[in-house]
């Protein structure tokens, strides 16, 4: 049987097969950077809501609240936790807790408020991470096209 005259060989096919993994890795690396900036802003806005000297002692909490990168994964992506290791009551102040008399004390929701205040920045950081990723992928493609004159 004669060879098929329409057979095409693509030299960069191996790179195409790894595109999903490379793209995810590039996006995660970019999101670590862009989301860190937003997490810093969320922490600052949350701290601004904590007024020392009322209710629970929020002075320690205000000065020890911080961001922590807790997971990078294919399913969940980049996640920053905002918490205080020094003020172990930080979650009670955020969400609320039962009082000694059995009644519920509603928390300040200072982290949730700060996140809501920064929704546009969070979306913008995700978009910026994607733009960084697509730029890197486009540069790879241009380099490959230069190497493999089709």
Give the pLDDT confidence score for residue 18 in this predicted structure: 77
Q: pLDDT truncated to tens, each residue of the chain (150 aa)?
A: 555 555 444 455 556 677 788 888 888 899 999 999 999 999 999 998 887 655 555 678 888 999 999 866 655 567 899 999 999 989 998 999 999 999 999 998 999 999 999 999 999 999 999 999 988 888 887 777 665 554
Helices 119-147, 19-49: axis angle to 10 degrees equals: 160
CA-to-CA distance for 134 and 3, rounded, in angstroms?
Answer: 38
- Return the closest-CA partner of residue 38 out of 84, 93, 79, 83: 79
**What distance lies between CA 87 and its chain's CA centroid?**
24
pTM assigned to the model: 0.76
In a 3-state reduction of DSSP, which class is residue 119? helix
Asked whether 93 and 58 are in contact (CB, 8 A), the reply is yes
Q: Report how far residue 45's alpha carbon sits from residue 110's, in angstroms, rounded to the nearest whole number.
A: 8
Enumerate the domain spans of the chain. Answer: 22-134
């Amino acid at each position: 049987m004669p060879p098929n005259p329409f057979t095409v060989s693509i030299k960069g096919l191996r790179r195409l097969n790894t595109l999903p993994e490379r793209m995810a890795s590039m996006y995660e690396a970019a999101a670590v950077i862009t989301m860190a900036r937003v997490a810093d802003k969320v922490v600052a806005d949350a701290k601004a809501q904590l007024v020392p000297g009322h209710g629970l002692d929020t002075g320690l909490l205000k000065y020890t609240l911080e961001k922590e990168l807790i997971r990078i994964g294919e399913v969940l992506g980049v996640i920053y936790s905002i918490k205080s290791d020094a003020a172990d009551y930080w979650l009670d102040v955020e969400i609320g807790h039962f009082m000694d008399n059995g009644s519920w004390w509603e928390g300040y929701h200072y982290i949730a408020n700060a996140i809501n205040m920064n929704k546009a920045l969070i979306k913008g950081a995700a978009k910026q991470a994607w733009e960084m990723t697509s730029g890197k992928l486009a540069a790879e493609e241009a380099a490959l096209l230069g190497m493999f004159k089709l």
